[in-house]
Structure 1
Amino acid sequence: MSGAKQIVAKPMIVGQPALIVVDIQKGGFAPRPASSRLEFMPDAVERYTRARTVVDAARTAGIPVIFVQEAHRRTMVDFGRELDGSESVHCLEGQPNTDFAVEELGMVEDDYRITKRRYSVFFGTDMEILLKGLGVQTVIMVGGFTDVCVHYSFVDGHQMDYYCRVVEDCVSGSSYRAHDAALEAMEYLQAGARRSAQDVVDAFAAIRRQA
C-alpha cells in the first residue's frame, strides 16, 4: 500500500473572492527599454490584454477588483536590495510607464488602488486591511512578473491563510523558464491554484447568476 499523500484540490473559489491585478502598468504595454537586463516574455502584452476580460467579468459579478502599482521614489531611496540582481531601475514616480494602465484595463475612479515599494502586494501596504474589510477569503491574481511580484504575493497570501489562485494565461514572467517554474511553485503550495482566464470568467459568471 502506498504511503503517498492524496492531494485533493479545494474549490477554485471559497467564500468571498477578490481579483488582484499585480503591476499591470503603462509600461507593460510599451516597447521594452534597451537598458532592461531582463529577457521578458514576447507575448506579455497579449497576456495583460487578456487580463481585461477577467477584470470585466469580476466587475459584472460584483467582485472586488484591487489594482496594485509598483512605484519608487525618484531618489531611489526605497529600492533597497532590489537592484542587486537582474533588475535595472524601473517604475520611478512621475514616469509615464509607472502609471496605472487606466484605459487598457478599464479602470474607474472608485477602484481600489494600492501602491507598493517592494515585490509583494502585502509588504508595507494596507492590502491586508482592505481584504479583511471586504471579507475576502480567496484572492485571484493576474499581472506580472509571474516569478517575482505575483509569486511573492501568492506566497504571502498563502502564509496569511488566503485561498490563492493565479490565472496562468494572464500573468507574464521575466522569461518562459522562470514563468513556468513559478507556476509550479505556486501549485505546490495550493493544489488547483493554476487556473485559466476562461475558468475564472466562468466562475465569476456563476456567482453573478446566483446573486
Structure 2
Amino acid sequence: MKKKQNPMIVGQPVLIVVDIQKSAFEDDGAIPLMPGMIERMRRARAVIDAARAGGIPIIFLQESHRKTGVDYGREMDGDEDEHLREDWEGTKIAAEEVGLRDDDYVIVKRRYSGFIGTDLSILLRGLKAETLIMVGGLTNICVHYTFADGHQNDYHCRVVEDCVAGSSIAAHDAALANMEYLQHGARRTSDEVIAAFLGQSGHKAA
C-alpha cells in the first residue's frame, strides 16, 4: 500500500527546541550520546534563525531537576546517571549556541516529554499552533516522547532529522522510524524546513 505523504506544515507552525542545553556540548558521561551530537546541535541554529526570520514562534524546552533529586522519578532506572540538576552549569540552555533572547518562550520540564507537568499545551493553544517542528535531543528520549504526546494531542508533528541526536546511532534511527510510522512525512531535513520557514508570511514575530 502506498504511504500518504503529509504536508510539511499545516496551519500555524511552531518550532520546539528540545533540550539544547550546555551539557549537549560537553560529554560528561551522565547520558550516552551518539557521535556527531555537537555538530547536529550547532546545525539547529540555522533552523532557529530561519524561524525568527519567518516570524515562526519558537519554544525552548529545558530539562531541569531539583538538587534533592525528588523529581527524577524512574529516570535513573536505565542507562542514565544523575543528570541536568538545576544547580549545574550544564543544565542551562546553551544561550549563545541557540541565540536565546530574553523574551523567548522557555518551558522548564521535569520529565522527558515537554507536555508532562508543564504549561506547554496552554502556550500552544495561545499561539494557535497546528504543526510542531522539533530540533534538539535526545532523538529517542525527549524528542520522541514530546513528538508522541504532540501526536496524541492531535498536532501535526515533524522532526528535523539532521538537527537531532540520540543516545546511540541505532536508537536515533529507530526513533526517527517510529516518528515516521506515527505521521508519514514527519522526517524532514534542515534545508526543507529552513526554506519553508523563510517562505512563511503573515505570522507574528516569535
- After TM superposition, the score normalised by the length of structure 2 is 0.96
What does the per-residue CA deviation read over 1:11-45, in whole Å, with 9 as the maximum and x for residues that have no partner? 10000000000000011112x124x362x112100
Q: 2:192 aligns with which of 192, 199, 208?
A: 199
Cα offset, 1:209, TM superposition? 8.9
Secondary structure (helix, strand or coil) at the match of 1:136 reads coil
The residue aligned with 1:144 is: 137
> Pairwise mapping of residues 88-127 of structure 1 onto structure 2 (< 5 A)?
88-127=81-120
The residue aligned with 2:25 is: 29
Secondary structure (helix, strand or coil) at the match of 1:182 reads helix
The residue aligned with 1:42 is: 35
Q: 2:12 aligns with which of 12, 16, 21?
A: 16
Distance 1:144 1:37, change over 3 A: closer
The residue aligned with 1:51 is: 44
Secondary structure (helix, strand or coil) at the match of 2:102 reads coil
The residue aligned with 1:154 is: 147
What does the per-residue CA deviation read over 1:38-84, in whole Å, with 9 as the maximum and x for residues that have no partner? 2x112100000000000000000110000000000000000011100
Secondary structure (helix, strand or coil) at the match of 1:68 reads strand
The separation in 2 between residues aligned to 1:87 and 1:7, in whole angstroms, is 36
* Structure 1 unaligned spans of 5+: none
Cα offset, 1:208, TM superposition? 4.0
Alpha carbons 1:173, 1:179 under 8 Å: kept: yes
The residue aligned with 1:131 is: 124
Cα offset, 1:8, TM superposition? 1.3
The separation in 2 between residues aligned to 1:160 and 1:190, in whole angstroms, is 13
Alpha carbons 2:66, 2:85 under 8 Å: kept: yes
Secondary structure (helix, strand or coil) at the match of 1:143 reads strand
Alpha carbons 2:112, 2:142 under 8 Å: kept: yes
The separation in 2 between residues aligned to 1:177 and 1:20, in whole angstroms, is 23
The residue aligned with 1:170 is: 163
The separation in 1 between residues aligned to 2:185 and 2:12, in whole angstroms, is 17
The residue aligned with 2:172 is: 179
Secondary structure (helix, strand or coil) at the match of 1:181 reads helix
One-letter code of the match for 1:11? Answer: P
The separation in 1 between residues aligned to 2:203 and 2:49, in whole angstroms, is 18
Cα offset, 1:7, TM superposition? 2.3
* Structure 2 unaligned spans of 5+: none
Q: 1:76 aligned to 2:72? A: no
The separation in 2 between residues aligned to 1:116 and 1:157, in whole angstroms, is 15
What does the per-residue CA deviation read over 1:142-182, in whole Å, with 9 as the maximum and x for residues that have no partner? 00000000001100000000000000000000000000000
Alpha carbons 1:60, 1:208 under 8 Å: kept: no
